[in-house]
Every structure is written in structure tokens, then in C-alpha cells.
Amino acid sequence: MKFYQTQLRLPEFSQGCYLITDRVLAAIPEVKRFRTGMLQVFIQHTSASLTINENADPDVPRDLAELQNHWAPEVFPYAHTLEGRDDMPAHGKASLMGASVMIPVGDGALLLGTWQGIYLCEHRYHGGRRNLIITVWGEEK
């Protein structure tokens, strides 16, 4: 079994959901070496998240962001308010969405469904640059 790992530092995004599949693949070209395996993408932050969802319709990321705002609204009696009104809702959204995604690898490619892509969901208005740890492992070709 072989392992490869890298860090991807993303640019700052405003609040919303962003398709990052191509950035992930560009950061770890070793995926092409695997006959079978797994790819994990992990975000090192507590106010942004990762998810897999539809990558074809531009309404999907907008609707995902709106849905998240209903799950964790800014107007709520939060106790943790020192870092701004978007901070605690961002932590809640990140907990609901998750900090990592796992994707099977086969014949040198991610085995995502036809309409699936990897999204970064930025939950802060100005969250800053985000760090991802990307690991691929399995049996090489």
C-alpha cells in the first residue's frame, strides 16, 4: 500500500459554497498512479466545511448556502459572540456539514458520480485563506 499527502492552501472566499474538485486534483496528481484506493480531503478550520454535491447547476451552491443560513441563523441567542455575529453560526454550519470527505479512487480517477463535485463551504464573511490536507492511499497501478 502506498500513501501520498499534501497541503492545499486555498485563496480567501466570501461566504458561500465553491466547487474545488479541480484544485484538489491539481494539488495531488499522484491520484493518477492508483489502481484502487481512497482520497480524503480534510479542512483544518472550524468555521468552514467540505461536502460533495451536484456540480452542474449553478443554483446548487447558492441554494446550499441559503439552506445553511436557515440551519444556523445569525440572529439567535448565542453565547459565543466575541468574534462577530457570523462566527458562531459558522461553527454550527461547519459541524453540520463536516470537516472531511472521502472519495474512492479507481484506475487513476476519483470515482465521483456523474454530477458530483467537492465543495468548500465558507461560513464566515471573511474567513481568510483555508488549508486542506489531502491524502490518497491504496494500490498503485
**pTM greater than 0.75 (yes/no):** yes
Using CA atoms, how far apart are residues 23 and 78, in angstroms rounded to an integer? 35
Q: How confident is the model at residue 5 (pLDDT cuts 50, 70, 90)?
A: very high
The mean pLDDT value for 8-23 works out to 97
Q: According to the model, what pLDDT value does residue 73 have?
A: 96
Buried b / exposed e over 51-74, threshold 16 CB at 10 Å, is: bbbbbeeeebbeebbeebeeebee
Sheet containing 109-110: which strands, arranged edge to edge?
A: 2-10, 130-140, 34-43, 100-106, 109-110
pLDDT in tens, 30-82: 999 999 999 999 999 999 999 999 999 999 999 999 999 999 999 999 999 98
Q: According to the model, what pLDDT value does residue 68 have?
A: 96
The average confidence (pLDDT) of the chain is: 97
Amino acid identity of residue 72, one-letter, is A
The β-bridge partners of 121 are 17, 49
Q: According to the model, what pLDDT value does residue 128 have?
A: 96
Q: According to the model, what pLDDT value does residue 98 have?
A: 97
Amino acid identity of residue 140, one-letter, is E
